[in-house]
Structure 1
Amino acid sequence: MTRPTPEELEAARDRRIDDVLAGGLAVLFCGINPGLMSGATGHHFARPGNRFWPALHASGFTPRQLAPAEQRELLGHGLGITNVAARTTARADELSDEELREGGRLLRVKVERYEPSWLAVVGVTAYRVAFGDRTARIGRQERMIGGTRIWVLPNPSGLNAHWTLPSMAEEFARLREAAGLPDARSGDRG
């Protein structure tokens, strides 16, 4: 895949990308919103410095590190991806609190419809605003949406430097274990 030009990235502003979603998933990962690289490519967590895909593999959710273009393969592992806010921006701080609250409302509707076992929101600050929970911390939340449990994960953006890839993978692995999913790397031979 060729890297989008600066003009293509700017043209991706305010685009929406498709969810990777099906009913009854084990874990539905939920980003804050797509970045410009994701908007330009149509793939979630597409920016090269984003640690979502490495953390997903290092924590045992996938047998190998997937590329953003392989995002549909997540469904075969009982995993999916959506976002709190649908529109693409250069930075998450371009979203208003109102947008995040409305995104949280729409996310609850989506979760009630698709009924994943777990909703994993990547980004505690966005979770706090979207769900009106100022005291939320990384980890399992008391709140549920219907029968769906909620886990808040660290934001995998490269801008979130106080979380290293190993510490992020540990938190992702805690969720995987809570979800009762086996370590998918155990059969990895390459």
Structure 2
Amino acid sequence: MKPSPEEIAAAAGRTVPDLVGPDLRILFSGINPSLYSAATGHHFARPGNRFWPALHLAGLTPRRLHPSEQGLLPGLGLGITNVVARATARADELSPAELKAGGEVLAELVARWRPGCLAILGVTAYRTAFGRPKATTGPQSSTIGGVPVHVLPNPSGLNAHYTVETLGAAYAVLRATPAG
């Protein structure tokens, strides 16, 4: 069910529970939840977000899943978390200090669950959260929590540099890597 504008506005600062567990091949980390996601309780739920179609185009899911079906992901070896748990209207509302603190929490989460790969969705957030100002998308030379890292484009509809097709292709590269 689509949340009302009032429900969306009231979601500011809320969190969306992590979708983590043992034996994940890939743990996807968004930057932070949108207000729409926080209002629904589902990751990448905002209409126009291309995460779910990109997963399917990449061959990571057998069909295009709806955000309300996120509970199916662990059975496919996939999980979802965020660098910063706090929901905002836009990721640029997060301060560098908040991103760095979130990166520390994410590193602890990854060290605990030990997925095969951590896929961070957003190069700018990765650069800030982990102090890697020259990082580019793709596999990284360093690990987080002892786990290989792959930086992918942010699937938000606000990221006009990528189409759903180019996102799917980038995510497919992740699927083809040994850790993915």
Instruction: Tell me the residue number matched to 1:130.
Output: 129
AA aligned to 1:74 is: L
Matched ranges for 1:27-106 at <5 A = 27-106=26-105
Structure 2 CA distance for aligned equivalents of residues 46 and 145 of structure 1: 26
Post-superposition Cα deviations, 1:54-105, rounded to whole Å, max 9, x if no partner, equal 0000000000000000001000000000000000000000100000000000
Listed as ranges, the gaps of 5+ residues in structure 1 are 182-190
Q: CA deviation at 1:180?
A: 6.1
* Equivalent in the alignment of 2:161: 162
Contact 1:56 1:172 in 2 (8 A): yes
What SS does the corresponding residue of 2:28 show, helix, strand or coil? strand
CA contact (8 A) 1:124 1:152 kept: yes
CA distance in 2, matches of 1:81, 1:22: 10
TM (norm. structure 2) is 0.97
Could you tell me which residue of structure 2 aligns to residue 11 of structure 1?
A: 10
Stretches of structure 2 that go unaligned for 5 or more consecutive residues are: none
Q: Tell me the alpha carbon deviations over residues 104-147 of structure 1, each in whole angstroms, 9 at most, x when there is no partner.
A: 00000000000001000000000000000001101000011244
What is the CA distance between 1:162 and its match in structure 2? 1.1
More moved, 143-152 vs 98-107: 143-152
CA distance in 2, matches of 1:146, 1:107: 8
TM-score when normalising by structure 1: 0.92
Distance between the aligned counterparts of 2:153 and 2:41, measured in 1?
23
Instruction: Name the count of aligned residue pairs.
Output: 180
CA RMSD of aligned residues (A): 1.0
